[in-house]
């Protein structure tokens, strides 16, 4: 997903759920900021790099894909962009090494989605925004894993787009870094095939290019891991379900719902807007931000400022050491570390070492990366 959904659509979902304009802005900013909070950005702001929620291409290319490098990559991408669906999935006749990767395949309505939303309860709007990013990406990024793996993230080259009139067209991929997609002719950019299992070229949905990130597209393809079975990816439908599930989650976070249940979508609340939302989702365009923005402004009657990744960096840099955690970025950092810590722990306790070690503070006291100490000492103080 891109800023159109993570920022503007998240704002719309927040308004429909009952958030005020101001709170909805904080929430949707945090949702989109997950894609911007890289180590490069954090170093510039003078913050801990362990709070990174994304990585730039340059950072990835510069990383060693040794054991600790791979664990670092996996912690970031599995926690925020490719939340594993089933950490205990069965894989008959497979080695443990293969099974561990298979279990990191992302998908909606996994137990970790519920854990993510519940973790954000009573933790502030920044945490809610992060949870919404993670939740919506489980729909867009399903069938790919947030760890470099050829055997999971590779795909057969035969991608077929299903056009609105029902006809089909073969999708062609080019491998030119930085080249733009040609959505009218069905030519998309994707990462080049690399036979190294742990190459960063085999991270996430690189082999499918940006297809999972475009809301309008419907296509068929064959994932590497599904026994030669072809799957249909219906993005407009998936994105609509993501929107309805976000409304459910936001109502829970607001205290308007008792619990957040999986496989539950608040279609009733969203139904008055369904036609408009589907119109935006199915419109053939690379970026639907303008349409979502107009829809959001109509919903709240307020202006939605454009997203600016540097908006809160100065506040954090200028704050005294004691006041940093109370700033916008400080709260986001705590929320990000909390989410990363939770997902890493769940992966670790499932017997899977791909995200590295996790030390349970409640059982064994503090250990590991010292920056996480602030999570222990100050997390409860921040609150809403």
222, 319, 342, 359: which one binds other proteins (CB under 8 A)? 222
Beta bridge partners of 218: 234
Q: Please, what is the Cα angle at 136 between 133 and 139, to 5 degrees?
A: 145
Confirm or reject binding of residue 40 to other proteins (CB under 8 A): yes
Given a contact cutoff of 8 angstroms between Cβ atoms, the answer to whether 344 and 355 are in contact is yes
The number of beta carbons lying within 10 Å of the beta carbon of residue 247 is 22
- Give the DSSP letter of residue 166: S
20, 22, 46, 58: which one binds other proteins (CB under 8 A)? 58
Cβ-based nearer residue to other proteins, 102 or 241? 102
37: three-class secondary structure by DSSP: coil
22, 168, 182, 226: which one binds other proteins (CB under 8 A)? 226
Binding-residue total with other proteins (CB under 8 A): 35
Of 122-130, 223-231, 259-267, 344-352: span binding other proteins (CB under 8 A): 223-231
Cβ-based nearer residue to other proteins, 212 or 223? 223
Q: What sign for the dihedral angle of Cα 79, 81, 83, 84? A: negative
18, 21, 23, 59: which one binds other proteins (CB under 8 A)? 59
Q: How far apart are CB 174 and other proteins at their closest, in Å?
A: 5
Cβ-based nearer residue to other proteins, 32 or 100? 100
Cite the DSSP H helix spans in 141-288: 150-153, 235-254, 267-270, 274-282
Of 38-46, 131-139, 246-254, 364-372: span binding other proteins (CB under 8 A): 38-46
How many Å apart are CA 224 and CA 91, to the nearest integer?
14
Of 118-126, 153-161, 299-307, 337-345: span binding other proteins (CB under 8 A): 153-161
84, 148, 223, 330: which one binds other proteins (CB under 8 A)? 223
How many Å apart are CA 102 and CA 346, to the nearest integer?
15
Confirm or reject binding of residue 62 to other proteins (CB under 8 A): yes
Applying the rule CB under 8 A, the residues between 305 and 334 that interact with other proteins are 310
Applying the rule CB under 8 A, the residues between 182 and 221 that interact with other proteins are 195, 197
Q: Of all helices (H) and strands (E), which one includes residue 137?
A: helix 125-140
Q: Which residues of 274-310 are buried (b: 16+ CB within 10 A; e: fewer)?
A: eeebeebbbeeeeebbebbbebbbebbeeebeebeee
How many Å apart are CA 56 and CA 205, to the nearest integer?
15
Of 92-100, 159-167, 299-307, 330-338: span binding other proteins (CB under 8 A): 92-100
How many Å apart are CA 26 and CA 28, to the nearest integer?
6
Applying the rule CB under 8 A, the residues between 359 and 378 that interact with other proteins are none
Which residues of the chain form contacts with other proteins (CB under 8 A)? 40-41, 44, 56, 58-59, 62, 64, 91, 94-95, 97-98, 101-102, 150-151, 154-156, 174-177, 179, 195, 197, 222-228, 310
């Amino acid at each position: 997903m891109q800023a159109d959904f993570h920022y503007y659509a998240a704002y719309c979902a927040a308004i429909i759920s009952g958030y005020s304009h101001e709170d909805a802005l904080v929430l949707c900013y945090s949702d989109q900021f997950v894609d911007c909070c890289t180590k490069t950005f954090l170093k510039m702001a003078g913050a801990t790099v362990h709070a990174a929620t994304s990585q730039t291409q340059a950072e990835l290319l510069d990383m060693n894909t040794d054991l600790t490098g791979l664990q670092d990559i996996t912690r970031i991408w599995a926690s925020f962009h490719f939340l594993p669906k089933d950490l205990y999935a069965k894989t008959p006749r497979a080695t443990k090494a293969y099974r561990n990767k298979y279990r990191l395949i992302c998908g909606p309505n996994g137990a970790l989605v519920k854990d993510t939303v519940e973790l954000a309860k009573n933790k502030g709007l920044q945490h809610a925004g992060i949870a919404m990013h993670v939740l919506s990406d489980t729909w867009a990024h399903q069938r790919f894993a947030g760890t470099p793996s050829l055997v999971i993230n590779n795909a057969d080259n035969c991608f077929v787009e299903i056009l609105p009139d029902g006809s089909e067209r073969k999708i062609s991929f080019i491998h030119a870094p930085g080249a733009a997609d040609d959505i009218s002719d069905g030519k998309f950019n994707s990462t080049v095939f690399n036979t190294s299992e742990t190459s960063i070229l085999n991270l996430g949905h690189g082999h499918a290019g940006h297809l999972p990130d475009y809301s309008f597209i419907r296509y068929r393809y064959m994932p590497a891991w599904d026994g030669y079975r072809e799957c249909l990816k219906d993005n407009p439908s998936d994105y609509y379900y993501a929107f309805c599930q976000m409304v459910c989650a936001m109502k829970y976070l607001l205290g308007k719902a008792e619990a957040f249940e999986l496989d539950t979508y608040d279609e009733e609340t969203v139904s008055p807007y369904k036609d408009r939302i589907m119109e935006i989702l199915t419109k053939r365009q690379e970026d639907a931000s303008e349409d979502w923005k107009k829809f959001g402004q109509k919903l709240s009657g307020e202006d939605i400022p454009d997203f600016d990744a540097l908006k809160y960096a100065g506040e954090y840099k200028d704050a005294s050491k004691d006041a940093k955690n109370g700033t916008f970025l400080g709260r986001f950092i705590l929320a990000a570390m909390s989410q990363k810590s939770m997902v890493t722990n769940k992966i670790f306790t499932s017997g899977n070492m791909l995200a590295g070690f996790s030390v349970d503070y409640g059982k064994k006291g503090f250990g590991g990366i010292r920056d996480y100490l602030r999570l222990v000492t100050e997390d409860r103080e921040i609150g809403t």
